[in-house]
Amino acid sequence: MAGTFTTRTINITTGSTETMHDLTNACSAFLREVAHGRNGLLNIFTPHATSGLAVIETGAGSDDDLLAALRDILPADDRWQGRHGSPGHGSAHMLPALVPPHATLPVVDGELELGTSQSVVLANTDRDNPERQVRLSFLS
């Protein structure tokens, strides 16, 4: 049986603050529509130089902890060579080196196979650009 590939881009408004935007429901909705109970892989990609994707626990403080850790590691000050945008914007360009802009996750029987308490989140520390895109691709 030949494999299938389906892809879609979703738009996310993150606002003007650093955020961890939960994408788990959007991923699950996409798979309900296209996977039809099949096994495969979900690839998630954000085509931005200042965003990343993580699989973490949300709602119990880990998402806030990740933002705090990123602030510690990548302070928004004037040390960065990339200085366009608001003051400290250069730190946001370092984010994808620590939180990659892609993730590939297993899909079993048409459902995203995450562990207990795991969620897929878009990490965005770029306060200058509140509009983000995320590409969801299912390969079966």
Does pLDDT of 62 surpass 60? yes
Overall average pLDDT of the 74-78 stretch: 83
d(CA 53, CA 35): 22
- Strands of 40-45's sheet, edge to edge? 5-13, 131-139, 40-45, 102-108, 111-112
Mean pLDDT of 69-77: 89
| Average model confidence (pLDDT) across the chain | 91
What is the Cα–Cα distance from 15 to 100, expressed in whole angstroms?
A: 21
Q: Which pLDDT band holds residue 81 (cuts at 50, 70, 90)?
A: confident
Q: Which position has the higher pLDDT, 15 or 122? A: 122
Query: What digits encode the pLDDT tens for the residues 84-117?
Result: 667 667 788 889 999 999 999 999 999 999 999 9
Q: Return the pLDDT at 88.
A: 66
